[in-house]
Amino acid sequence: MENITRRDFLSLSSISISSIFFPTVLFANTKKITWKGKSLGAFSSISIYTRDEKYAKSLIPQALEEVNRLENMFSLFRNNSDIVKLNQNGFLKNPKKEFIELLKFSQKISELSDGYFDITVQNLWITYSKYSNNETLLKEQLEKQKKLISWKNIKITEDKIILKNKGMKITLNALAQGYITDKITEFFRKEGLTNVLINFGEFRSLGNPSSTRNWRLAINDTKNIINLKNQAVSTSASYGTKFNKKYHHLFNPKKNASSEIEESISVTAPTATLADALSTTLAVMPKKKREAFLKNFSNIKVYTS
């Protein structure tokens, strides 16, 4: 999924950083440092306001080294990544603590959402990629995938992760970018930076860029402007990666199919991992179920369009 994905839409709407992120009044004696690049297939950036430019710049290579380390766990497009090994073998021995942490978090969201969030949908991605232009073959192949789609068939222990059914595959594309965003945000926090906006597929902020304004993000083609201060935001939309005019990359595990919901949904939350998971879940969950699901969380705000 490392072409344009649903996570790019908030990012792409905000690429004009000069117009959105530059503050009207800077803190005294601060300078802005910006890094731009790509991670997990998405546009990425780091924006820092600091009085110590040299020190802040020295931290960016360290942050990017950590991003690379985490991508080696979570990327489906790195042949030797932990997730690729798990999908190929059906098990992963001695998984790293971050991998276990993220899988356990995914299971928590799956349980709270009654299965509308499910990381075992990778086989649906593969099936739609191959057969989306042939309805007959698509239906046949989707039927074969039913037994492979269930978060309950992932066994997690400290020394081994097992996919219980042969042929099961997982994807962390609905979590990994948020998780990496959080890890890099916490890295900068521990190093003493207080005014930072991190974007590694999802956005998370520390402090604010000026004495009069929070970090401001425009949501794609809507009129919504999100003001962030020590919060994160994630967007999910059916107009992300499309297989054709009918099918897209957001899957409803309950129906073993591409979701029929056409809304763009953005969520602000205390962490990017949570915002990432919630926006994905709400993008496939029927509206009548959303309110009850969201009662499990605090400090959440949802924007739809």
* Least confident piece of the model among 162-171, 241-250, 283-292: 241-250
pLDDT tier at 209, thresholds 50, 70, 90: confident
Domain that holds residue 27: 1-305
15-19, 113-117, 216-220 — which one is most confidently predicted on average?
113-117
Query: Does position 1 have pLDDT exceeding 60, yes or no?
Result: no
Mean pLDDT of 23-32: 58
Whole-prediction pTM value?
Answer: 0.88
Nearest to 263 by CA among 232, 293, 230, 285: 285
* Least confident piece of the model among 7-21, 118-132, 218-232, 255-269: 7-21
Task: Give the helix/strand (H/E) hosting 196.
Answer: strand 196-200
Average pLDDT for the chain: 86
Query: Does position 189 have pLDDT exceeding 50, yes or no?
Result: yes
Count how many Cα atoms sit within 13 Å of the Cα of residue 155 in the half-sphere of its side chain: 10
- According to the model, what pLDDT value does residue 256 have? 74
- According to the model, what pLDDT value does residue 5 have? 45
Query: Does position 25 have pLDDT exceeding 50, yes or no?
Result: no
- According to the model, what pLDDT value does residue 26 have? 45
Count how many Cα atoms sit within 13 Å of the Cα of residue 109 in the half-sphere of its side chain: 24
Mean pLDDT of 34-60: 92
Enter the tokens of residue 221. Answer: 């083609």
With tokens 């890890």, the residue in question is 183
With tokens 């601060």, the residue in question is 30
- According to the model, what pLDDT value does residue 247 have? 66
Q: What is the CATH number of the domain that holds 251?
A: 3.10.520.10
pLDDT tier at 162, thresholds 50, 70, 90: very high
Mean pLDDT of 102-129: 95
* Least confident piece of the model among 144-153, 193-202, 203-212, 291-300: 203-212
* C-alpha pair distances (Å), 292 with each of 61, 138, 283, 285, 295: 43, 33, 15, 11, 5
pLDDT above 70: percentage of residues in the chain: 84
Mean pLDDT of 133-145: 90
pLDDT tier at 250, thresholds 50, 70, 90: confident
pLDDT tier at 40, thresholds 50, 70, 90: confident
- Is residue 155 a contact partner of residue 282, using CB atoms and an 8 Å limit? no
Query: Does position 11 have pLDDT exceeding 80, yes or no?
Result: no
Tally of domains in the chain: 1
Query: Does position 184 have pLDDT exceeding 70, yes or no?
Result: yes
Task: Give the helix/strand (H/E) hosting 42.
Answer: strand 42-50
Tell me the pairing of strands 225-228 and 154-156. Answer: unpaired
